[in-house]
Chains A and B, each alone.
Chain A
Amino acid sequence: MSEEKRIVKSYEEEMQSLNDDLVKMGSLTESQLSDTIQAIVKIDKEAAENIIKNDVQINELRAKIDDQISTVLVKRAPMAIDLRTTISSLKISHDLERIGDLAKSVAKKIEPLPIDLPQELTGSLKRLGELVQKQLNNVLDAYITKSKDKAVDVWRNDEQVDDLTHIAMNEVANFLGKNKKNLELATHLLFVTKNIERAGDHVTNIAESLYYLIEGEYLEGARPKGKEFVKDK
């Protein structure tokens, strides 16, 4: 979707700067999420602290993007593709911020976890984390290349995220079933799993916003749903 440049150079620059900041925010969020997944699998408490500390950078970028968007709205009254870019950027930046918050929230859960977390508990969680991370990477890629098809792929793949969440949660539930003493640890892990799944939902939101940006229409149909969480008997 190559566009000719706007006649007003400063308008062109404002939109470019908005785009650049959103890409930057995306890449920051992506590395926060990927660091969090690594940290939970390795129970790396030092890394977790860094993740918690770094979240502020994402929040600052979001505030900057919000400000840029309100300036563009009042100054330019953007139309058509510019209007859709502006609205979608606002929504995408908020979804990215939420992904950042969820990564931070997962990182906070690492501190109370034992170093020797049983392998059986982290296998599916690791796969889930990596999948969501890949989804985020793909949607950011789709944003940069303005690819409608890639956005739809990400949107569809959320089903896999839901399925893996279901598996990971069942593993934790089974672990809890074995011994009630595992309650505290299991609760932590359930929250972690749910937070990663939610990050996946925000990725799907981004895919939807991106689709609207490119096509000017909303993605039709219900979002694909995986199996609901039901404890295996």
Chain B
Amino acid sequence: MTNNKVKIKTEKLNVFYGQKQALKNVNLEIYNREVTALIGPSGCGKSTYIRCINRMNDVIETCKISGSIKIDGQEINNKQIDVVRLRERIGMVFQKPNPFPKSIYDNVAYGPQIHGLADHKDKLDQIVQTSLKKSALWEEVKDRLDEPGTSLSGGQQQRLCIARAISVNPEVILMDEPCSALDPIATAKIEELMEELKKTFTIVIVTHSMAQAVRVSQRTGFFHLGNLIEVDTTDKMFKNPNNKMTQDYITGRFG
């Protein structure tokens, strides 16, 4: 199951929002074509962590980041990196589905267009169709591609956002609580989809649902107050964690 090839490696990663330190010396390896789940109480730094990977924190003026973030061995935490190109490689799906106020088709076509991935209409049509198929939405929307993305249900919108993320053929998909606004059926569809997506992409998911972490991930990291307390295979983490804090958190003894 594990191919043990490191896709993302962070070393001594420190993040400050003004005076407040959000991440403290985080050393974490994310393996290629696996789902890594990040868990921990609110404010523990797990979302901050994934926002470092595609440099989303750049837009926050008070945010200061030190340490190393390497993707396939290449340092991305420096000024030379083309952030637009980086975000093409690293897609993101957010807690609330946030389709553009455009048609279903345009939502998916937007990325490939701006990144110049399609030189003619047929190619673009093909990318849109493939992306919607990969996100398991195609059958539900193929006859209404001109309708606004916002006309879809919440679960469908989230799958549309996943289609949008994968349309530019990224290497990594970051998911920040992608199911927290969805009902159990829509959640199950996303989880089922992740199973499929991990064959092609490396996925990092932040989740508050430990049951979800167990279901979808192969490795799990537990954050607390900006520290990465423990990371291990998901099986080990939820059956027999090494750290008492991990155990106390997952058994509902603090949080």
Q: Is A216 an interface residue (CB 8 A)?
A: yes
Min distance, Cβ B209 to any Cβ of chain A, angstroms: 10
Contact A77 B255, CB 8 Å, known A83-B239, A217-B240: no
Asked whether B251 lies within 8 Å of A80 as measured between CB atoms, the reply is yes
Task: Please report which residues of chain B, range 220-250, place their CB below 8 angstroms from some CB of chain A when the two chains form the complex.
Answer: 238-241, 246-248, 250
Q: Are B239 and A7 in contact (CB under 8 A)?
A: no
- Complex CA gap A81/B242 in Å reads 11
In the complex, residue of chain B having the shortest beta-carbon distance to the beta carbon of A87? B239
A78-B251 CB under 8 A given contacts A83-B239, A216-B239, A216-B240: yes
How near does chain B come to A199, taking the closest CB pair, in angstroms?
30
- Residue numbers in B under 8 Å from A78 (CB-CB): 251
The reply to whether B254 and A81 contact each other, CB–CB distance below 8 Å, is no
Give every chain B residue within 8 A of A8 (Cβ-Cβ).
252
Q: What separation, in Å, do the CA atoms of A8 and B253 have in the docked complex?
A: 8
B239–A84 touching, CB < 8 Å = yes
Q: Which of A72-109 contact B (CB under 8 A)?
A: 77-84
A149 within 8 A of B: no
Interface residue count for B (Cβ, 8 Å)? 15
B118 within 8 A of A: no
Map CB proximity to B onto A100-123 as digits: 1 under 8 Å, 0 otherwise. Answer: 000000000000000000000000
What sequence of 0s and 1s flags, for each residue 38-74 of chain A, a beta carbon within 8 Å of any chain B beta carbon?
Answer: 0000000000000000000000000000000000000
Task: Select from chain B the residue with minimum beta-carbon distance to A76.
Answer: B252
A8 and B240 CA atoms in complex are apart in Å by: 21
> For the complex, is A6 an interface residue (Cβ under 8 Å from B)?
yes
Bound-complex Cα distance A216 to B238 (A): 11
Is A79's CB under 8 angstroms from B253's CB?
no
Pair B251/A79 contact, Cβ less than 8 Å: yes
| Minimum C-beta distance from B212 to chain A (A) | 11
Task: Check A79/B210 contact, CB under 8 A, given A6-B253, A7-B252.
Answer: yes
Q: With the chains together, A81 CA to B255 CA distance in Å?
A: 17
A138 to chain B, nearest CB (A): 25
Which among A5, A77, A84 is the interface contact of B253 at CB below 8 angstroms?
A5
Within 8 A of B (CB), among A139-195: none
A83-B238 contact in complex given A4-B248, A77-B211, C-beta closer than 8 Å: yes
Is B238 a contact partner of A80 (Cβ separation < 8 A)?
yes
Given contact pairs A5-B253, A6-B251, A82-B251, enumerate 17 new A-B contacts (beta carbons under 8 Å): A4-B248, A4-B253, A7-B252, A11-B252, A77-B210, A79-B210, A79-B251, A80-B238, A80-B240, A80-B241, A80-B246, A81-B247, A81-B251, A83-B239, A84-B239, A84-B240, A217-B240
